[in-house]
Structures are given as C-alpha cells and as structure tokens.
Amino acid sequence: MKSIKYANRIDKIEKSELRKIFDKAPSKSINLGLGEIQFPTPKIISDKAIDVIKQQNIRYTPNAGLPDLQKAITNYYNIKLNGNVCVTTGAEEAIFASLFSFVNPGDEVLIANPTYIAYKTIIKMLDAIVVEFDLNPELGFKLNQNDFSSKITSKTKVLLLNNPSNPTGKCFSEDEVNFMISKCIDNNILIIVDEIYRELFIKYKPMSFLEKRGKIIVISGLSKSHCMSGWRIGWAASIDPDLIKPIIVSHQYICTCAPHISQEIAVTALSRKGMIAQNKIRKELIANRDFVLDQFKHFLPDISVLKNTSSPYLFFNVAVDDITFTNEMLKQGLIVMPGSIFGSNGKQWIRLNYALNKKKLAKGIDIIKSININNI
Ligand SMILES: Cc1ncc(COP(=O)(O)O)c(C=O)c1O
C-alpha cells in the first residue's frame, strides 16, 4: 500500500533542536537542559487534586474555564473580569490559539532574537512570516531600538514577546517596554506577551504588561510558577474582552476546555496559601542560583554570566562555538542548551537550568568544571 502523504504544513515543523540534543544524550545524563522546574508540585495542590477526584464529578467546564478560576486569574492581575480570560491547556495552547486567532497567512510577526523556540514554528505553521529584531548580546541583550523600528512594515500584525525571557532570564527595562508599546500603538500592532516566568523573579516582581495601555494580550500559566507542568494550565488574559473573544472560539475547537481537575487545583494554586507555597519554590530556586553563581565565580572565573533577573536559567558566554560546547558536555553526560537554538544572537551562549535537586546540580556543575574550554 502507498504511504499516506502528510499535510504540507507538517513539512514546516522540523524536529526541534532541543529534541535532537536530548536524543543524542547518553542515558543517565544529568539534565540541566530542560525548560522545567524539577521540584515536586506543592502538597497543598496535590492534596486538592485528590479531593476533587473523590467527588467523582470531573466534567467539561465552560470553554473559557471555570468561573472561579477566571476570577482568580483576574484577581491575580488586579483587573475586572468581563469575558477577558480564556483558560487553556498550558501556555503553549494559549500562544497557539492567540496567533491562530489574529494572524493571517503572509502577516508578519515580530519576535526577539533570541527567544523561546516554539514561537517561530507556530508562526510558520500558520503560514505567517517570522521577523526577528535584535537583542544585543554585547550589551547584555539590550533592545536595539533602531533595528526594532526598521522591522515594522505595513504587514506587521503582532509583536510576540517573552518577559522574563527564556533563554536569557532577563526582563525588558521600563524604557524598552514603553518604546515597543508606543511603536505598536502608532502602527496598530497587537502585542502578545508570554509572562510564564513572571513569578520566578529573583528580587523584584516584574510588572505585567496588563498594567500598560495598548492592544495587549498576556499569556501565562502554572507550569513554571507552581511546578505544575503536567497539569497543563495556562491562560490568555486582556483588559479588552474583544481580544479574548476569538481565542475562546479557537480554544473551543482545539480542546473544548482545559482539564477540569487541573482547573480546580489551579484555583488553589492562585489562592493565598497556594501563592505562599509558590514563594517557597521561588526561594529554593534562588538558593540554587546562588550555589551555581558561587561555583562559577570560584571555579570558572573566565566564563561571563549574564546578569539577569529571573529563574530558572543561567545564561553564560563560553567564547567558543556553543553547539560544539554542548556536544562536548553531552559526551561527558551533561545536557545543557546551546544559545544559538534560540536565535543567532545566542551564539557562544549556553542556557543552564538550575531547577533541580542540589546533588544532581552539583554533579552537573562538576562536569563543566572538569572541561578545559580552551581545548574545545
Ligand atoms: C517561554 C515559554 N512559554 C511557554 C512555555 C510552555 O508552557 P506550558 O507548560 O504552560 O505550556 C514554555 C515552556 O518551556 C516557555 O519556556
């Protein structure tokens, strides 16, 4: 029998570089490459899940999510609930549903170089055009304002940002934010901001773009903040319900609703007690970060580490080819991510995730310490 031809759009989806690296890794490698917080989910959240199961009443929910959860989300942002929230199956679905709802084939979507890898693929899946603007690695990944302005055309439909950033762990400065927003207002560009790492701040909680004026959709979720990646809870929220309306329609046909059980426990996660548990995760991450920074300072003083403001990523410059460096680490049983997979400006940079138990983390750092970078 002849094979069945895949849809053309599947050709646009390459196996992610990240996956390729995982596939090459020897079994039992230490994994500092994942984009996951590898701590247990807080007990108060898991206990709630057991209570919900016992009620034997797990059903469909309204498409936009349980009203209590929508309310908890608007309370979190300190905004009014008025049809302006859509609870999704993880932030990833919120990104997809938002772009699916606003972007036509041929539209241009502005993304940072470097940024989260999934954005490019989703834009391409929608037959839209990826347009990258520069964050300058020599200036601590500062926004290049001239480059940003020059990338805006009559076809620019959306600016898709990630704040704090994966992979750099940095937030845009107030000036950078105001600059981008004013350009988008002037050019009628929709801003979509993925704030999934917002609660993992080191010193000061970053502002949310929902505090700003403009056509803005904020995306977030509980995978990172509450170590709930497997529960698949995300959302899209806006001040303007008209921006969320088409996302609820798309979401309805993508998956009907986010899992009911996960939505119930998400209400607990966003409660006062849930946020106290969340703060413990944040502090544990800071302790891990302090440990890693101390190790770098004492044993790897020639490696320059980016001064960033959020967990769980340490972004550092190895001054050699980042892919070669990553492959060398893989041979030694350590997975880290080469910066260039997030965009060409990440060349020679490495992303290390320190959100795992201290023992494994220390072992991983020992491997980096044992390598003579000059021989790479
Ligand atoms: C920037 C960014 N956005 C979204 C996601 C996906 O989040 P979720 O698990 O909520 O789908 C990730 C996961 O690594 C991420 O790094």
pLDDT band at residue 373 using 50, 70 and 90 as cut-offs: confident
pLDDT single digits (tens) 64-119: 999 999 999 999 999 999 999 999 999 999 999 999 999 999 999 999 999 999 99
pLDDT single digits (tens) 179-205: 999 999 999 999 999 999 999 999 999
Q: Tell me the CA–centroid distance for residue 96 and ligand 1, in Å.
A: 11
CA distance 331 to 284: 29
pLDDT cut 70: percent of the chain above it: 100
For ligand 1, pick from 193, 223, 233, 342 the residue to mutate: most ligand atoms within 8 Å of CB: 223
Is it the case that residue 24 has pLDDT exceeding 90? no
HEC-encoded secondary structure of 2-25: CCCCCCHHHHHCCCCHHHHHHHHC
Q: Tell me the CA–centroid distance for residue 37 and ligand 1, in Å.
A: 11
Is it the case that residue 216 has pLDDT exceeding 90? yes
pLDDT score, position 20: 80
Q: Taking residues 122-134, what's their average pLDDT? A: 96
Is it the case that residue 312 has pLDDT exceeding 80? yes
Contact 164, 200 (CB under 8 A): yes
> In the predicted model, what is the mean pLDDT of the chain?
96
The token duo for 131 is: 């347009």
Is it the case that residue 15 has pLDDT exceeding 90? no
pLDDT single digits (tens) 233-255: 999 999 999 999 999 999 999 99
- CB contact set of 354 (below 8 Å; sequence gap of 6+): 32, 285, 288, 289, 291, 292, 311, 312, 313, 314, 361
Q: Tell me the CA–centroid distance for residue 376 and ligand 1, in Å.
A: 32
Bridge-based pairing of strands 85-88 and 108-113 is: unpaired
Q: Taking residues 157-172, what's their average pLDDT? A: 98
pLDDT band at residue 305 using 50, 70 and 90 as cut-offs: very high
Nearest atom in ligand 1 to the alpha carbon of residue 233 is 10
Bridge-based pairing of strands 30-31 and 337-338 is: unpaired
pLDDT score, position 21: 81
Strand ranges for 44-84 from DSSP E:
none
pLDDT score, position 82: 97
Q: Tell me the CA–centroid distance for residue 301 and ligand 1, in Å.
A: 32
Which protein residue's CA is at the shortest distance from atom 13 of ligand 1?
35
- CB contact set of 209 (below 8 Å; sequence gap of 6+): 161, 163, 177, 191, 193, 195, 216, 218
Any bridge partners for residue 110, and if so which?
Answer: 131, 159
For ligand 1, pick from 19, 92, 165 the residue to mutate: most ligand atoms within 8 Å of CB: 92
Any bridge partners for residue 171, and if so which?
Answer: none
Q: Say which DSSP state 206 is in.
A: P
Is it the case that residue 61 has pLDDT exceeding 90? yes
Is it the case that residue 364 has pLDDT exceeding 80? yes
Q: Tell me the CA–centroid distance for residue 170 and ligand 1, in Å.
A: 16
Q: Which residues line ligand 1 (CB under 6 A)?
A: 35, 90-92, 116, 162, 166, 194, 196, 221, 223, 229, 234
Identify the residue with better confidence: 375 or 122.
122
Contact 234, 91 (CB under 8 A): yes
Compute the residue count for the chain.
Answer: 376
The token duo for 327 is: 């492959």
Nearest atom in ligand 1 to the alpha carbon of residue 93 is 11
Is it the case that residue 125 has pLDDT exceeding 80? yes
Q: Taking residues 45-70, what's their average pLDDT? A: 97
Q: Can you list the domains of the chain with their CATH numbers?
A: 8-41+274-369 (3.90.1150.10), 59-271 (3.40.640.10)
Q: Of 291, 270, 304, which is closest to residue 360 (Cα–Cα)?
A: 291
Q: Tell me the CA–centroid distance for residue 194 and ligand 1, in Å.
A: 8
